[in-house]
């Protein structure tokens, strides 16, 4: 017997704001978080466009002995997770008395690796790399740091599924709860924003070069899109069994109704239509819902020519004549990659809770495929109770989540 | 380098790196307790001393360095 899985807390640190309220306002206002970073030109970047956010200063919040093991992305993840736990009403005592799990999406630790290798090459003495480097450099750095800081005692695992990592983390957490293996899991995704982490991405010409107007560069589904803009930060959700939430009197915000996944079994970087479509259909099947129950689709659409085109085809193939609003919040945030699947659930939650759909910025002209979807370029004031969120990644990994309002 | 110069330089760097008050560092105080470090933190202390003085504390010798006075004496002996 599958158990119901509910969402009871959220926390976020992104280019749209340092907490839920700031992010809600940015979404409502349709504010872009994208800037031009001249320092990237000095590093030889083809595109110097990036989301902008400050690394939080946790001195005085966490001890030196905690911070020394944390790379940039773990700092973001700490802030987001603290907010999410507080939001869910989970305190230290609860964490001590229960086996709360942790599944977090992350797929790089480039800056930490680079720094330690640079030191090794320069000093020719591995001791000089310091004690923090190994823990900062492992791909599981976020989960190892968060689990120790918050004293988590359940499953402790990093999910590396490229740009679908955060979404898979939530989906897999929901499965563990559904089958009674965990009562409560902290899920999320983190993404480093430093230039070193995405230089190689720039190198394959994946980024928009519309540098003259940074806020216009990320334009998912628009006919004239020319690539993605990298972003990052961290997003955390607290999910738990319905019984657990009721027992502790938690604020029940929504229900994770469906998780679909698939692999394209195709090209390493070029997405196809069949894989995403199967992920969408699996999520719908698992949720037991009809397509007409879906009030809003948060697309993966990153503003790349092929990716957006094939996602538009996949959505159209599944939804046909029923056309709920489809937007990509990446038009405001850029592509938050390992974090995106989690952050976009939170963006969609904030919209669902507050009765609006943020505009798909820069959607000025459709192409032949996006013309078949209902993509608003202005904010829509609309109450909806169910959304679907897509996340796709390199290697053809796909994840789809369906979330229902319970407030 | 004069002994007092070694002491001042080491103390200032340790206070900053391990985020403690300079006044907490006294010659007879136990290093690990005062700096609040475990074996991993000792690695950072070794790296700090090496970067400051060019003196590498060997693994076989570190157990004998318990107090700050032990550390100052060790650095002085290696530098001279």
Q: What was the pLDDT predicted at A339? A: 98
Question: What's the ipTM?
Answer: 0.94
Q: Using a CB cutoff of 8 Å and minimum separation of 24, what contacts does B20-27 make?
A: B25/B68, B26/B68, B27/B67, B27/B68, B27/B69, B27/B72
- A70-100 residue pLDDT tens: 999 999 999 999 999 999 999 999 999 999 9
Give the one of A64, A128, A129 whose C-beta lies nearest to B19's C-beta: A64
**Residue of B16, B41, B43 for testing the chain A interface, max A β-carbons within 10 Å:** B43
- A156-174 residue pLDDT tens: 999 999 999 999 999 999 9
First to last CA, chain B: 8
Stretch A325-350: mean pLDDT, rounded? 98
* Runs of H (alpha helix) within A288-380: 305-319, 330-333, 340-354
Shortest alpha-carbon distance between residue B61 and chain A (Å): 15
**B18 contacts A64? CB cut-off 8 A:** yes
As a whole number of angstroms, the distance between CA A225 and CA A210 comes to 9
Residue-averaged pLDDT of chain A: 98
Q: What was the pLDDT predicted at A1? A: 72
Greatest alpha-carbon span in chain A: 65
Stretch B55-76: mean pLDDT, rounded? 96
pLDDT at A407 over 80: no
As a whole number of angstroms, the distance between CA A294 and CA A291 comes to 6
Q: What was the pLDDT predicted at B1? A: 83
Q: What was the pLDDT predicted at A309? A: 98
Which domains does chain A carry?
5-405 (3.40.47.10)
**Residue of A62, A122, A127, A133 for testing the chain B interface, max B β-carbons within 10 Å:** A127
pLDDT at B80 over 90: no
| Phi, psi for residue B55 in degrees, rounded to 5 | -110, 120
**A65 contacts B41? CB cut-off 8 A:** yes
Domain spanning B3-79, CATH architecture: Orthogonal Bundle (1.10)
Q: Higher confidence at residue A224 or residue B1?
A: A224
As a whole number of angstroms, the distance between CA A287 and CA A300 comes to 20
Q: What was the pLDDT predicted at A390? A: 98
pTM for this entry: 0.97
Tokens 């609860």 sit on residue:
A94
Residue B46 contacts A, CB cutoff 8 Å:
yes
């Amino acid at each position: 017997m599958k158990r119901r899985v509910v969402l009871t807390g959220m926390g976020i640190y992104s280019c749209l704001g340092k907490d839920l309220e700031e992010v809600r306002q940015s979404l409502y206002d349709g504010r872009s978080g994208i800037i031009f970073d001249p320092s990237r030109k000095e590093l030889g970047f083809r595109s110097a466009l990036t989301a902008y956010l400050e690394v939080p200063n946790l001195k005085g919040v966490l001890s030196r002995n905690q911070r020394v093991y944390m790379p940039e992305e773990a700092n973001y993840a700490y802030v987001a997770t603290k907010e999410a736990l507080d939001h869910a009403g989970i305190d230290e005592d609860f964490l001590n008395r229960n086996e709360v799990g942790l599944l977090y999406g992350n797929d790089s630790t480039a800056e930490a690796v680079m720094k330690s290798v640079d030191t090794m090459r320069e000093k020719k003495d591995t001791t000089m790399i310091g004690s923090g480097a190994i823990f900062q450099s492992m791909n599981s750095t976020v989960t190892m740091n968060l689990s120790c800081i918050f004293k988590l005692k359940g499953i402790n695992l990093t999910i590396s599924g490229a740009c679908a990592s955060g979404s898979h983390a939530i989906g897999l957490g929901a499965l563990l709860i559904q089958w009674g293996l965990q009562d409560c899991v902290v899920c999320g995704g983190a993404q480093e924003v430093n230039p070193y982490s995405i230089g190689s991405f720039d190198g394959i010409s994946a980024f928009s070069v519309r540098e003259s107007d940074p806020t216009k560069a990320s334009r998912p589904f628009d006919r004239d899109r020319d690539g993605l803009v990298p972003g990052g930060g961290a997003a955390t959700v607290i999910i738990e069994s319905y019984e657990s939430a009721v027992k502790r009197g938690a604020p029940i915000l929504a229900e994770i109704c469906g998780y679909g996944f698939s692999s394209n079994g195709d090209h390493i970087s070029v997405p196809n239509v069949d894989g995403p479509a199967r992920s969408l259909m699996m999520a719908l099947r698992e949720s037991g819902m009809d397509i007409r129950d879906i009030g809003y689709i948060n697309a993966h659409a990153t503003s790349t020519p092929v990716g957006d085109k094939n996602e538009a085809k996949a959505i159209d193939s599944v939804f046909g004549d029923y056309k709920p609003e489809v937007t990509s919040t990446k038009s405001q945030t850029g592509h938050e990659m390992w974090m995106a699947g989690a952050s976009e659930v939170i963006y969609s939650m904030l919209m669902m809770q507050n009765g609006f759909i943020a505009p798909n910025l820069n959607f000025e002209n459709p192409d032949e495929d996006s013309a078949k979807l209902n993509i608003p370029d202005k904010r829509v004031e609309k109450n909806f109770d169910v959304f679907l969120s897509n996340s796709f990644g390199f290697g053809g990994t796909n994840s789809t989540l369906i979330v229902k309002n319970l407030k | 380098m004069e002994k007092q110069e070694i002491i001042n330089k080491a103390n200032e760097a340790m206070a900053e790196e391990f985020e403690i008050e300079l006044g907490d560092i006294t010659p007879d105080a136990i290093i690990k307790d005062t700096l609040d470090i475990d074996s991993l933190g000792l690695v950072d202390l070794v790296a700090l001393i090496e970067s400051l003085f060019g003196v590498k504390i060997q693994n076989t010798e570190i157990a004998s360095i318990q107090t700050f006075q032990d550390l100052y004496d060790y650095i002085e002996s290696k530098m001279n």
